[in-house]
Each structure stands twice: as C-alpha cells, then as structure tokens.
Amino acid sequence: MDTGPPPLAGIKVLEFAGLAPGPYAGMLLADAGASVLRIDRPGAAPTADVLTRRKASLAVDLRADSAGAALVKEVVRAAGVDVLIDPFRPGVLERRGLGPDALLALNPRLVYARLTGFRRDGRYRAMAGHDINYLAVSGALSLLGRAHDTPLPPTNLLADFAGGGATLVQGILLALVARHASGRGQVVEANMVDGAAHLATFPRLMLATPLGDRGRGRNLLDGGCPYYDTYATRDGRYMSVGALEPRFFRQLVDRLAIARAWCEDRADPARWPALRRDMAAAFRRRTRAEWERVFDGSDACCVPVLDYAELRADAAREGDQRPAVALRRNPCLAVTQRPPPGPDAADASVLGQGPGVPGDGYDAEPLAPGQGADHVLESWLGWKRGRDYHVGPGGFVLDQHAGPKL
C-alpha cells in the first residue's frame, strides 16, 4: 500500500505556551503532521515545557493592544490558522483581545480549543488547581489507592494528560470533521474534571456491582484481588499478574508451583489474604529474570514490570516509542529514529513515517522563545524578517509596529 502524507499535514496550529496538558495536545497534533507554532513570552532561555517535539516558537508581548497581540491576530487571519490552543484560566486571552469572539470574527474557520482544569461554569472555576485536585472533584481519585490508606494519585497521568490534553485533541478532531461539512470553525471546551470523570465511567458503574462494591482497594481490579496485582521478586524487582479467567489462573498456579486447590477457592474474597501470602512467597523465591523465563510464551497473564531505563537500553524490549495509533495509509510521524531495515522490521505504519526525533522520545528538546518562527512564518504566510516583521525587545512585531530592531 502506498504511504500518503500524515493525517494532519497542512493543518496550522497556534499553541499558547502552558504546562503539561496544553503542550501535550499540541505535541499530539504535531506528531500527526500538523505545523505547530507555540506562542511564548519574550526571553532568552527555554521554558519549562518539555513537550516540544516538532514545534517552533513565536515570542511576543501579549499585553492588550500590544504589537504582539496585533501580530497574533494577523497570523490567525492571514495564515488561515486552523486550530488555536488556549491553556489559560477563563478570561486570560479575552483580556488581551484574543478571545474566541475576536479571533473567530477574523477567521470563521478557526477551531478555538480551550482547556481548563476545573469546569468553566463550576464552583471551583476561579481557583488554582493541579491534577490531584481535578481528580479529587471528579470522583476518580476516590477509587485509587490501597485499602486502609489515603487515596493515591497516579502521578499526573489521568487528569492532565488523558482527561485533559488527549480529550482536547479528541474535541479538536471532532470540530475539524464538523468544519468539513459546515465550512465553519467553533469553540471547543474541555476540562480535566469532566475528562477524568469520563475515563472513570467503567469503575463508576461497577460501584453498584460485585466487581466494585467492596470499597477502594478491595475489589477485583483495584489491587484488592491477589491475582490482579504486582509482586516483588527475589532481586527486589516486580512481576505483574492479571490472571482473571479460570484457564489463565490455572496456568499461573501451575507455574508458581502453589496449591492447585486455589483454582476452586480463588473467587472467595475471604480467602484472598491467604492466596496473596502464597503468591508473594512464591514470587520471592526467584529473580525477575527467572520468572520471565517461566512465564514467557504462556497465557498466565504474568509479565515483568519494566522501567524506562531498561526499555531504552534493551532492543528486545518494546521500548521503541511509536505513534499512539497506526494509520495504514497515512501514518503519523515517527518518534524513534528508524532502525536499519531487516527481515523482522516493523511495518512502517506502526513505526510512523519520517526519520524520528533526536533522543527517540526519551530526551526532551528545549525550545527557546522565537526558535524556528522565521521558517514557520515564511511557510505559512511568505513573510520574511526585516521586510514583514522585526524582532525587538518585546519579541516579534509586524513591520508597521516595529520598534528598535535587533
């Protein structure tokens, strides 16, 4: 099958600099082939953002009625920007004259994508927060953690990235599909509370069933069940177990060399503490590598808990970073720099197309304010520095607004 361009080739994205979920959304779009230009404050040093893959930076002063704000408006209008990502609290861009009403009037095809932590219309809308807070008020945090302990946040995966950035991208893609039919853009609003709540749909519904009605950390899938958990090995590493079905559990029992009677008693939660003790003692008898040799190729649903250092170092592990989804005809862009072709080489649509990025997705690339903007402005608009715009102490400005030139 012939390979075509990546699915979002030709899509122009303005991403206002923020932390974590907004940059993650921009990176997902860039990996799918979109041209992403991040709007930064003027400055000499790179920002704290590490999700900069395939992006360029435009450094501007965004104060209301500033030359920088005028430049952003002209880029939105003249370049026909397709997507704008607003990661700020409600009202921030509106106060700078860059809210959706102003920019959709300049470019009716614009998809104006806004991401907040709390709901824009909720009781916490004016408050600062982080992933743990959004999980807390969504209800999802109440499900996470061991029994007899406090709720435990899973780093900042669920609200910031899955409920926030990835959900925002879903909304952007839906709006682009709708624009194909209507010819018009629209405002897309996502927030991490609702995003996390949707991710928790299944466990929330299970609260009313025997699969989830025993309280946090006491159920089948939340660490309460001994055959759906992790275990330490003799060398202090870990194996994961997910042997839910009887035929899988039977293989687990046989390979662990524990009593086969557990195949009859395993469904009784009152027996779980004893089963856990037997399983923990069995796993402590061997190293993780030894257990891998025992379970590899089996259906016991038992595999090692790998860390990123060993994934990166061992070519036999599945640590090569790939696009999250493979499109057979229009693959996204590669992350891992392509290995030499060989008889066991993965299909190009799985790896992604193109040369990959330095560091293979394990090393962040700093992006300094203004880096790469000249190339993007020329490719989007045909603009050249010194003719259409200049760079002054306040960053990039249109030529008619330029002050002292650097």
- Cα 378 to Cα 77: distance, rounded to the nearest angstrom: 15
Spatial contact of 125 and 137, defined as CB atoms under 8 Å apart? no
Annotated catalytic residue within 31, 40, 82, 160? 160
| Helices (H) then strands (E): counts for the chain | 15, 11
SS3 137: helix
- Sheet containing 83-86: give its strands across: 55-59, 35-40, 12-16, 83-86, 111-116, 186-191
Active site annotation includes 160:
yes
Spatial contact of 386 and 395, defined as CB atoms under 8 Å apart? no
Amino acid at 270: A
- Cα 372 to Cα 26: distance, rounded to the nearest angstrom: 16
Amino acid at 27: M
Spatial contact of 22 and 163, defined as CB atoms under 8 Å apart? no
Spatial contact of 118 and 128, defined as CB atoms under 8 Å apart? no
- Cα 246 to Cα 63: distance, rounded to the nearest angstrom: 64
Spatial contact of 175 and 114, defined as CB atoms under 8 Å apart? no
Residues β-bridged to residue 135: none
Place of tokens 């953690």: 145
Point out the residues that are catalytic.
160
